[in-house]
Amino acid sequence: MRKSRTKFLLPLLLVAAALSFTACPSKTNIAKINADPDRYMNKEVGVAGRVTDSYGVPFVGGAYEIDDGTGRIWILSQRSAPAKGSQVGVKGRVVVGPVFKGRTFGTALQESDRRVK
């Protein structure tokens, strides 16, 4: 009886582990996103850093800029923005602004989740 339960549970646990790992966004540094924003466009990524600038609009959301030591990126949020100087981890989708003469303007991250330390 014990062997049959193990034969059933092991594949179930392997499938659950595989699904949990695929749900996690890839953590990358901001310099890589800024260097090649098309590669990350509409893909979910995770970044972490210190808030260097922060703007909020009550009941609407906010935007804040983070610096991870390799570069800076703006985060667009439907929640209030964290305070300047806060350490945050953010996951979201990369969105890109207009392109002019081969240069991209306005790369940002549309926040889907945030952790503040």
- The structural domains of the chain, ordered by start, are 25-116 (2.40.50.140)
pLDDT in tens, 32-78: 999 998 899 989 999 999 999 999 888 788 999 999 999 999 999 99
Interval 86-101 mean pLDDT = 86
Q: What's the whole-model pTM score?
A: 0.73
What pLDDT score was predicted for residue 97? 76
Interval 24-38 mean pLDDT = 86
Query: How far apart, in Å, are the Cα atoms of 75 and each of 1, 3, 62?
Result: 54, 51, 8
Residue 111 CB partners (closer than 8 Å, separation 6+) = 75, 76, 77, 78, 79, 90, 91, 92
pLDDT at 24 over 60: no
**DSSP string for the chain:** -HHHHHHHHHHHHHHHHHHHHHTSPEE--HHHHHH-HHHHBT-EEEEEEEEEEEEEETTTEEEEEEE-SS-EEEEEESSPPPPTT-EEEEEEEEE---EETTEE---EEEEEEEEE-
- Amino acid found at 53: D
Phi, psi for 59 (deg, rounded to 5): 70, 5
According to DSSP, the residues that pair with 86 across neighbouring strands are: none
